[in-house]
A and B are shown apart, each in its own frame.
Chain A
């Protein structure tokens, strides 16, 4: 018995020592934090140096369309250029590799003028011919390499080289969102030689040839990838602060799967930037002299739970509206999230073109929820959970584990809904459950956020709708009209209408918070982010070079 106690005491002592030392980590530095929006803008850029960025998971597929996932988009943004760029400040698509672009009145034909003097890193020209081949690959896929078409290019029919600098794209149907889709990281331009490779070749970073500011130098599988700045790079997006080559000399991508180390890595300077900071680590990092940078996902929808009505329990819009106002969003922010997170005002985030602020109607109102549920015929049962026709109001949420906050968020919602007599089964962050749940309309909620370049049509329309899995005729008509809008004014008006329908009238999505990626940065790092939350390494620099 005495021996057992000895062992126990030793464990306890070791644990205490470990925790004390861990705790010290937060308090032994100078205490400096900086405003994320001016991170790159402050001071005069210093030339040179190696910038180390830690992603959360190793990257093995670098084909441009894989950039639908953050870890790939964050790096590919600095390796492949696109035809256009979305400028958050003006809310407009601006020129990049295309110096100019025009559309016909019906939005079925787009002509891109390709900038002069752009070359791929292997020396070949990025001209109209190369662009045409890339557009074909994006719009039609590459069968021989098992690469499928880009979902945002669903309307693509064909393209032709008009002259050395001009490409004309023809669409199958009007698509008001097509231009914005050409600004997506999933539409990166590669050398025509790359397009000829097999699947393994086109997904390997060592073989992909782009025209971006950073060029592949070396890699160590699953540990790091090193890129070198391209000295002759001179074709940054029209609105980029740095119009020349990158200030940095080298860019090193590493991986930090262990979430507990991320704040420490940035604070200690072992990395200059790290993605996937947990809310609990934000204060630790700021207090330790590091920077907490919240990159707003303007290109994405808000974090939301898309509603599927297959189980029959949520058929009645009243029930869905009851759930919408049965969520105390402020409590979510106060307990699970942090100051880096902005509560949702709609299905689009606050900075997205066409955003309409519906937050006044999303206020927490449990009494209204109860009333709506009563009206819909759901009566409180003996265990406090509502019932109707012998069925309990027990509903399930599925989501991937991509977001560090999604599971705790639904845990809190579970508690909140208990108050109105609703039982939530929380399967958030369970990837294996999600595989089937994603296409199962019996599972009531799909917790997610999606890239939405432009309107909501591409996300919610029937052809691509994996959100609600619901073919609602009225909504579908609306989405079709939105995509066919011929003027920007008309388009934005319809996007606004879509938001009202989805969030309020039909309540087919429960909106939670604006999409954001929280990065931790060292005090010497200066960096900005794109509308898709990717770091802009071409404009990044380090105070200490």
Chain B
């Protein structure tokens, strides 16, 4: 187990290093250095100012020095300076990350709950029509664009009925509505995979044995089926982190919330490359960490991952 954890953590660090290198190289591939690009939006930028700013931010140094300096900075949490605000990238991110964590974290938790509830309802329902309707919900949920749902809800709740604010004013609704909008979209793929794998588990002989022993359907579902079906849904949940971040760009814009998504949008619009660089790196790190957690939880749900060697008859075929 210890070896497995160490290996996974090592892999995660390597992924982050590669992500950093890829982002660094991508910035070098741009037609100009970050300072020139940023100042090109300003009609008055003169070469002397550009040169001075380049020197100040270290963009006039040889590439390898820049690479190592920036890498060294990473270890101390220094992501460089945001050109659009003059403050440190880490400060800018720090100002708004809490807002995104609340939004994304709650949406993620709600999405899991929604997915499990939907799967339970669809699996346990005895009414054929109801079950079919429930099975069709995930494709519908994933088809509804986040921005559309957000716009419609705000139009109804904030503009027509006036029961909520168009702005994040700290009220319960102003927080709950964006969370729900994001969670609905997010829960769809998780529910889809969970339903599929519950159906597969249900076809296995041990379920028939349980039924023959007289176990109730709900007991079988919660105690056996769900547990066996969970690993694949968990993997999908890990991958949805990407959807979550993309979704928060849209949700934060529609609901006028501060956050990483909104910050990405601003950074790209004003061509603040160091800020974009920091955000991309943070996203890569978040993605890696969540998938690392998934990998670490996996053996708890299915010990065969560790106990079985690849190729052995007990190895899990994924």
Contacts and interface: CB of A to CB of B under 8 A. Distances in A.
Contacts of A265: 159, 166
Contacts of B82: 60
A264 B167 contact: no
Contact of A261 (B43, B87, B96, B159): B159
Given A7-B139, A21-B152, A222-B95, A267 B159 contact: yes
A10 interface: yes
B44 interface: yes
A264 B158 contact: yes
Given A21-B156, A21-B160, A270-B165, A258 B262 contact: no
B12 interface: no
A146 B82 CA distance: 13
A150 B262 CA distance: 30
A222 B258 contact: yes
B79 interface: no
A63 B84 CA distance: 11
B86 interface: yes
Nearest to A459: B43
A496 B84 CA distance: 37
A328 B31 CA distance: 37
A338 B19 CA distance: 48
Contacts of A201: 86
Contacts of A28: 160
Nearest to B151: A260
B114 to A, nearest CB: 17
Interface in A21-62: 21-22, 24-25, 28, 57-58, 60-61
B256 A257 contact: yes
Interface string A375-409: 00000000000000000000000001100000000
Given A25-B160, A151-B44, A223 B266 contact: no
Interface stretch (B49-57, B104-112, B218-226): B49-57
A54 to B, nearest CB: 8
A258 B258 contact: no
Nearest to A204: B87
Contact of B41 (A141, A202, A435): A435
Contact of A141 (B49, B253, B259, B269): B49
Contacts of B44: 68, 148-151, 464
A261 B165 CA distance: 11
Given A11-B140, A22-B155, A222-B263, A435 B40 contact: yes
A61 B254 CA distance: 23
A466 interface: yes
A70 interface: no
Given A221-B96, A256-B256, A151 B43 contact: yes
A258 B96 contact: no
Interface string A227-246: 00000000000000000000
Given A221-B95, A264-B159, A270-B167, A450 B46 contact: no
Q: Give 9 closest A-B pairs by Cβ, nearest first.
A: A151-B44, A222-B258, A264-B159, A221-B95, A199-B86, A18-B152, A60-B85, A200-B86, A148-B49
Interface of A: 3-4, 6-7, 10-11, 14, 18, 21-22, 24-25, 28, 57-58, 60-61, 63, 68, 141, 143, 146, 148-151, 198-204, 220-224, 254-258, 260-261, 264-265, 267-268, 270-271, 400-401, 431-432, 435-436, 438-439, 450, 464, 466
13 contacts: A11-B140, A21-B152, A21-B156, A146-B53, A148-B44, A203-B85, A221-B95, A221-B258, A222-B266, A256-B166, A258-B151, A261-B158, A435-B41
Given A61-B84, A261-B151, 7 more contacts: A7-B136, A149-B44, A204-B87, A220-B258, A257-B253, A271-B166, A438-B40
